[in-house]
Structure 1
Amino acid sequence: MPYDADKTRAMPPVGPGGTSSEKTAKINPVQADASTAAWPSEEPDNEPTVTAAVPGVGFPASEDATEYMRPVSPQPRPEDSGVYGPVMVEPGEDEDRPKNSRKKALVVAAAVVGAFGLLYGLDMLVSSGNVPRGVTVAGVDVGGMSHADAEKKLRDEIGPRLSKPVALKAGDVTSELDPKSAGLELDWNGTIDRAGSQPLSPVTRVTSFFTSREVGVATKADATKVSGALEALRPKLDHEPVEGTIRFEGATPVAVDPHNGQKLKVDQAASAVVANWASGAPVEVPMDFTPVKTTKEGVEKALNEIVKTAVSGPVKIKGEGKDATLTPEQIGATLAFAPGDGGALNVGPNKDKLVEAALPQLKDTVKEGKDAQIVFEGGKPTVKESVDGLDLDWDKNLQPYFDALKKTDAREVKFEYKHTPAKVTTEQANKMGIKEVIGEFTTGGFAAESGVNIRVVAQKVNGAIVKPKETFSLNKHTGPRGTAQGYVEAGIIENGIPGRAVGGGISQFATTLYNAYYLAGMKDAGHKEHSYWITRYPKGREATVFMDGAGNSLIDIAFTNPDDTGVAIQTIWTPSSIKIVLWGTKNYDVTGSTSAEFNHTQPEERKVNKTPCSPSNGAQGFSVTDTRTIKDRRTGQVRTESRTVRYDPSHKIICEPPPPGG
């Protein structure tokens, strides 16, 4: 018959005592479904054994029920006997037991809370007024100590550090900072205060038994002094990025590791120093880093795979009729290094260094080319023949040379040559039509020192050829004009006052050249007049030039040959004059006229207390307009060109004694 889970059944006597007390139990449908095997089946052999454990039924209620659990024999079904059979009762189904358990739990919890509160209060009472447990100051443990004891311990352990230099770690550099000069001083009261008072949080108080908390020191600091002291360390801390490369000790290659560049972040570094200077440990100061492209691994690879082989022995260079041999040390000097992709160090040949090393041994195999020149013999221009040059083709030879360095044997390479035709050949010079004077001019009255410089530059320019449509620049043609080139110190005009400098007097040569090409009908390509008029020069028709000590052209004079025929420059120097004659084909008739002075200005007085000094009454400043009239002989066309020049007044110079010791 079907089992009704909602019915209650009388519990028959169970247990060793055989008591007659009864318990009722309600079977949960789910439990009933899960335990249908607890009821006897039709076949006794299949009857399962079940267990009953109900407090108060068959064993003392105060005992643990599990100690009395035993197999229970199935009872007859109700329909067979008219009496309810036994019911399986599992622990927890008894409604009285959960209530008792909850009560016990509440009692235990209350006891724990009470004990914890007692301990918390006792801990607060005992530690009141002390530094909290687990607190360290600059690495010194002062947790649980009274403020007075904590201060004494800190003074004993931290105090000795305060007069010592503070170690700084700045990227890949270390240094030291003097705390006194940086205005750093420990605030003892503030430091103890930073340790704080006792925490109220129970969690914090419990965890303080197992953890520590660093609070650091309080510092009295002068921000300006700290920043200033750090700025003073920049030369030691800052450095530019250094790419990896390879240097040579004789013929031995040595890797140079790359280093990132770094610059001190002063404001952030000052904060780091103030916060950590008393810790006794190095203070890491913030830096701005500039990365490099090479890596240490890239440098090592270039060293081991290329450079060591390159300098493993000599290399022979075969020339035309003569050979050269470079030693490993010379080879090392011809190598060039540059950052590559992915941190690599690229290795290649340096052309200039190769020429420097090999050319002295091969100089007899090359021939210097020379342009055709105009020489003046018997008062007339004559063409001096050009010479084609023969030179090593260094650009072509560079890669074959480097390939030979990659070998460990048969280390030789044959160099190629190239012919270098003259820029102005004999034939070209003969066809330039340089046959007659087209313009000339003479100036004189220069000092002896100026005359030396004028002679040197005249020799340099004499015979120069200006090809058709070409521009001649005086500064470019002469190059630097220093003592190494034979120039001497002579008079110049500097800021309107006479002075002296190496190369002085060349302006007279420039003025003479200007008037020569002015009268030849050449095109002015740029010139500048003196700031005030010098009486030996034509008004509005003069020029100055200037190069600095490094040979840089600051003021130049230049002209362009506008014709299809060439121009040759002849210079004739004497100790008292310089004459410049331009030769070519005379295509122009030129005249010049200069206006009267206008817009006069008065001189100012200037006192000079250095030597040499030449007193002067000064002169008025003024303006003039120069007009050049040019008639083209070939077409008859006439054109005019005007140029207005303003001259400053020359100062009235009063010479005074130089200052003492001057």
Structure 2
Amino acid sequence: MSTVNATTQRLGRGGKIALGVVLGALAVLLAIYVADLAFNRGNVPRGTEVGGVAIGGMSPAEAEAKLEQELGGVEKNAVEIRAGSQRSTLVPEAAGLAVDWPATVEAAGVEPMNPFIRLRNLISTREVDVVTTVDEARFAPEIDRVNGELRVEPIDGSIAVENGRAVEHAPENGQDVTNEVLREYVTGQWLRPEGVEITKLETLTPAIDESVLKDAMQGPVRSALDGPLTVRGKRHGDGEGEVAASIPQERLGEIVEFPVVDGKITPLVHPEAAEAIFAEQLKETETEKQNARVLASGGVEPSVDGIVVDWGKTLERFEDRLLGDSPRDWEATYKEEPANFTTDMAQNATFDQVVGSFTTGGYSGASGTNIGIVARAVNGAIVNPGETFSLNGHTGPRGAAQGYVESGIILNGRADTAVGGGISQFATTLYNASYFAGMTDIAHTAHSYYISRYPAGREATVYEGAIDLQFRNDSPHPVKIETSVGGGEVTVNLMGVKTVNVESVNGGRWAHTSPQEQVVTGSSCIPSSGIPGFTTSDTRIISDLSGNEIKRETQTTVYSPQPIVRCGDGGDSGPAPAPEPPEGE
């Protein structure tokens, strides 16, 4: 008896029917499968898409034609490329990318023989990457650019000191995409509607990670921020007792930082900042040195040696006190600071050599009166080593009460008169004498426009309370100012010990400007034909007495044109100019 018959006998009538149905269904499915094989032989698998365009079930020729129709010119569209949190874009055509349509369809394959895969293709879709042709000359630099935009550098952890406490900033990983991976993803996925999503990323770890931060916090950071630092000093001179200078906890960040150096957190100590904080508090424990002074009235004001903190010795173990085991509370070390210009030097000072000299002339009678008064006030003044001479400070007020009279000045760029006019001629003479004496120029102001009787670029104006002439004596010897007025001239000599020779080199004149016309009303109007303006320079060369150059200094002066002034009896001559400080003539 056959197996089927035996089975049929066991199943009974109901079983026979069921078996028949199953066998019939299988026969139908087999017929459908055979028909599908026949009709779709060589076609692209169902559910296939390229760049979002469905080509499943089509013949290769149909699929290729549809792709070219739907996606032709897509190379001109920018493609977004994503890698983690980073974004970049690339225009395929500019990057030398193009689609090989026949190869792309071929890569999509054909319907498989496996019935289960064929069934799956009926109910799902799959995206097939394009087959790309690449122009390397254009593609390589674009890949480098995109790579740079997708790369994220790791961020080292760091430690900052804020209000005397350590504040940690956590490290952050970075990312990188190799050119090989980027090339693989871009050439395969650039046609996808959603862009290119790169998932093969390399993690870049920072040099300063959590473990390095922990080691630093438990080591040098803890030591550095372990309470205030205190230097104890003793008062000298008239005072008594101790002064405790402290750097409190909240100011420790001013003297220590924790930067990353060569991949490590390295303490950076600022002893100069510590010295400044301590010095302000220990100032009262020091005795300031005072140089001797030769007095104009005769005699000598004696010198006083100082006692100051020896910061070199006081702070020689400072780093170990901050970071190591040395005490954070210690005694200051002091040293004597001798006066630079002693009593003996002052008593033996001589004023028998001309250190610097200058003469000017050509002033009016009224100006001569004022020049004589100021010259007598300055005559005999002594500028000791290290001292600064101020013309305004030395003379005080220069008004009618002091005997000064009206004379020519410059006001708002034109000639005018005022009490004290002419003082600037003395200022120019004194300035030049100090110039050739090698004195240090502290403050001087040139006239707004050029006055021909003065050396261009080497002259000075003054005005009480606003414009001053100041120079400092940086030589080791005092100088005495001697003045003389007479015969239409004023001379200033600086007397002392000559230590330098001075040469003046004028740089010529350039950038000439033309005067503009002004109409001025009123009885005080002084007509003028105007003077052109220009720019000039002066170089001072200072040499020792053997001819060796010590230094050279160049200054540039810009002279405005003196306006053409026409005196009128009325009418609108335009808005009045903003007032300037008057300048002595």
Structure with the greater alpha carbon radius of gyration? 1
Could you say whether these structures have the same fold, taking a TM-score greater than 0.5 normalized by the shorter chain as the test? Answer: no
- Measured against the shorter chain, the TM-score band is 0.3 to 0.5
Question: Under a length normalisation based on structure 2, what TM-score does the superposition of the two structures give?
Answer: 0.45
Higher RCO (CA 8 Å, separation ≥ 6 residues): 2
